[in-house]
Amino acid sequence: MLPDHQFLRIPGPSPIPPSVQRAMNQPMIGHRDQETKHLLHSIQPALKPIFGTKQNVLIMSGSGTASLESAVVNAVHPGDKVLVIVTGAFGDRFVQICAEYQIAINRHDVEWGEAVEPGAIKDYLKNHPGIKAVFATFCETSTGVLNPIQELGQIIRQHSDALFIVDGVSCVGGVEVKMDAWAIDILISGSQKALMLPPGLTFAAVSERAWKVIEKNDRPSFYLDLTKYRDQLENDTTPFTPAVSLLFGLKQMLELIEQEGLEEAFARHRQMMNMTRSAFRSLGIPLLTSDKAASPTTTAIRPDDFDPDILRNVLKKEFNLTVAGGQKHLKSKIFRIGHMGYCSPADILQTISIIEVALRKIGKQVELGSGTRAAQEILLSGGS
């Protein structure tokens, strides 16, 4: 094993393209200088299609959790009734944030590994009038589930006046999203997942409907006040010091997506998902989610005859391949493979091949090459 030869296959942070790394190595510029204004101005037109919106996409320095908190603190008041759809650890994070701000939480729990049923939300809204906002996680990386956001948006708009607030941190850039057409009011994301950047940038796109609510919210907020970011963006600047090097990288990342094509990027992610799922089926190792609920950016595997943490340790120690473990009650029960952003079908073939060898090393009897062959067949068929 070469010390510097690392294979990162977790659900974020994801690998960084070399051209993005080079872009971030550019000499620093003044954050209030004209160069930074030009940079911010040039980024907006390319960001909007990724979010599926005509609205400007606000850019803040912070983690994905900062964007979750910004949505809560701007869109709802203490005491407001909200519905939080919890399909995993990051849906639960919305609950924790709302609790910190004294929001009246209505919680809809779904078994981990399953996607929410839109009909259940329809019934809930009919029976619980006065909900001010519905929070949902698009891709739940703790389980590898992709929730039916389009259907949820239609139901929420038809059966309530609630704002629809969506955590797209781990899938925006890797799956199709049409914020405006799907009636999403606030769509948030982060830089370190399918957007192929290091951690440190967070994004929020806000509908006109949501702005009307936010503008009436008199709760004190300083750094996370979205109106400040909106107003300053009109002048191609930010209210606080931006992460300039990450903005350089963001511009280059957007150029890479433009070169590949957005639809092609989505198809690549679906293909990698199908390759990964087919490989583990061929190896006889159970998947956590159904095909219908599966995310194109993360796959969760739930073995029934070996300890996933032992496998992960062998992968890391002997091959420098990092895959993720389970969270909360799924800890030591699943492992997760990230296939998002700067990741190709060739990377998946390599990952599956290494995992096959590691499985044999821990005593799991698998036919070497069977998983790789299954993934190869998906690739050759063009299956996406």
- For 26-60, how does the pLDDT look when each residue is reduced to its tens digit (9 = 90+)? 999 999 999 999 999 999 999 999 999 999 999 99
Domain membership of residue 36 (yes or no) is yes
Q: What mean pLDDT is predicted for residues 126-152?
A: 97
Confidence class for position 284, pLDDT limits 50, 70, 90:
very high
What residues does 335 pair with on adjacent strands? 301, 325
Q: Is the pTM of this model over 0.75?
A: yes
275 and 233 part of one domain? no
Is residue 239 domain-shared with residue 268, that is, in the same domain? no
CA dist 379 to 180, 267, 272, 336, 367, Å?
33, 12, 8, 21, 20
| 55 & 131 share domain | yes
The annotation places the binding site for substrate at: 336
Region 207-217 average pLDDT: 96
Return the CATH number at 214. Answer: 3.40.640.10
Specify burial of residue 261 (Cβ count, 10 A radius: 0-12, 13-18, 19+). Answer: exposed
Q: Distance between CA 47 and CA 58 in Å, rounded? A: 10
Say whether both 228 and 266 belong to one domain: no
Structure token pair of residue 155? 């139901």
Pair (29, 91) in one structural domain:
yes
Examine the domain organization and report whether 114 and 175 are in the same domain.
yes
pLDDT higher than threshold 80 for residue 335: yes
Q: How far apart are CA 128 and CA 195, in angstroms?
A: 37
Record the tokens describing residue 213, joined without a space.
Answer: 């609510």
Residues 248 and 283 in one domain: no
Residue type, 119: G
pLDDT value, residue 311: 98
Whether residues 254 and 291 fall in one domain: no
How confident is the model at residue 259, as a pLDDT?
98
Instruction: Give me the pLDDT at residue 331, please.
Output: 97
Q: Are both 298 and 220 inside the same structural domain? A: no
Mean pLDDT computed over 311-323: 98
Q: Is residue 206 part of a domain?
A: yes
Annotation: binding site: 336
| Measured distance CA(146)–CA(32) in Å, rounded | 39
What number is the average pLDDT over the span 307-311?
98
Q: What are the residues facing 323 on neighbouring strands?
A: 9
Q: How many domains does the chain have?
A: 2
Average pLDDT over every residue of 66-70: 96
Domain hosting 322: range is 7-14+261-381
Per-residue pLDDT at 384: 66
- Single residue among 258, 280, 296 that ends a domain in this structure: 258
Q: Do residues 188 and 272 share a domain?
A: no
CATH number of the domain residue 300 falls in: 3.90.1150.10
What's the 3-state SS for the chain?
CCCCCCEEECCCCCCCCHHHHHHHCCCCCCCCCHHHHHHHHHHHHHHHHHHCCCCCEEEEECCHHHHHHHHHHHHCCCCCEEEEEECCHHHHHHHHHHHHCCCEEEEEECCCCCCCCHHHHHHHHHHCCCCCEEEEECEECCCCEECCHHHHHHHHHHHCCCEEEEECCCCECCECCCCCCCCCCEEEEECCCCCCCCCCEEEEEECHHHHHHHHCCCCCCCCCCHHHHHHHHCCCCCCCCCCHHHHHHHHHHHHHHHHHCHHHHHHHHHHHHHHHHHHHHHHCCCECCCCCCECCCEEEECCCCCCHHHHHHHHHHHHCEEEEECCHHHCCCCEEEECCCCCCHHHHHHHHHHHHHHHHHCCCCCCCCHHHHHHHHHHHHCCC
Q: Could you tell me if 73 and 224 are in contact, meaning their C-beta atoms sit under 8 angstroms apart?
A: yes
pLDDT at 1 > cutoff 80: no
Residue 139 maps to a domain: yes
Mean pLDDT, the chain, rounded, equals 97
Q: Rounded CA gap, 187 and 205, in Å?
A: 5
| Domain match, 176 and 278 both | no
Reported as a single tens digit per residue, the pLDDT across 358-378 is 999 999 999 999 999 999 999
Q: Final residue of a domain: which of 258, 289, 323?
A: 258
Is pLDDT at 327 greater than 90 in this prediction? yes
pLDDT surpasses 90 at 219: no
Give me the pLDDT at residue 143, please.
98
